[in-house]
Amino acid sequence: MAFSAITAGNHARFICFSGGSSRSFSRSEVSVRFPLPGLRNRKPLTIRLAAAPATASEGIKPAISLTDSALKHLDKMRSDRKEDLCLRIGVKQGGCSGMSYTMEFEDRANARPDDAVIEYNGFIIVCDPKSLLFVFGMQLDYSDALIGGGFNFKNPNATQTCGCGKSFAADM
């Protein structure tokens, strides 16, 4: 017996497949009970499925996010070039901790088909799939402080970071 669930809005449709036939349930809660062959004197297996609507506060966070100060500074840098550019964020081998971050502006037309394209408040970020494994959930911040200023990478995947903050190590 196999189950499939299809959700649309606040409703869920559960489909139960058994021996070539199927039953469809469209309630928010479904309970299915069936005996297990070969198990004598045992209670039948009961599967209970429930669907709960997602609330607006449970929005999906972007793979890479920008703070307001980083977004403002990147917008300024991009407008100075007067071109339709996106920000490519990546990771390469090297640096004090083993891997280092890369960031550069590039023409949007140069984005590869397998790149992850992240739109953050109208700003486009692209990242290759291999790098995305290491920077997923990262937040890019910017500070104009005289000491320690510049871009700061807050990476939840980093197990170790360099003092400069531009390189990191991650266990994958």
CATH classification of the domain holding 156: 2.60.300.12
Kindly state whether residues 114 and 38 are assigned to the same domain. no
- 130 in the same domain as 50: no
Q: Which of 6-10, 25-29, 47-51, 111-115 ranks highest by mean pLDDT?
A: 111-115
- Residue 165: CB atoms within 10 A of its CB come to 17
| Percentage of the chain lying above the pLDDT 90 cut | 28
Detail the DSSP E strand segments found in 19-98.
Answer: 21-25, 29-34, 45-50, 64-66, 85-93
Domain count, the chain: 2
64-66 and 116-120 as β-strands: parallel, antiparallel, unpaired? Answer: unpaired
The one-letter amino acid code at 39 reads L
Of residues 94 and 40, the one with the higher pLDDT is 94
Strand 29-34 and strand 45-50: the pairing is antiparallel
Task: Assess whether 18 and 96 both reside in one domain.
Answer: no
99 shares its domain with 46: no
Measured torsion, CA atoms of residues 90, 94, 95, 96, in degrees rounded to the nearest 10: 130
Residue 160 and residue 82 in one domain: yes
What φ, ψ does residue 152 adopt, rounded to 5°? -125, 130
Confidence of residue 160 (pLDDT cuts 50, 70, 90): confident
125: Cβ contacts below 8 Å, ≥ 6 apart: 64, 66, 86, 87, 88, 89, 117, 118, 119
Least confident range of 44-58, 72-86, 118-132, 146-160: 44-58
**Cβ neighbours, 10 Å, residue 70:** 20
Q: Are residues 49 and 130 in the same domain?
A: no
Examine the fold and report which residue of 27, 58, 89 is the final residue of a domain before the chain moves on: 58
Q: Is the pLDDT of residue 108 over 50?
A: yes
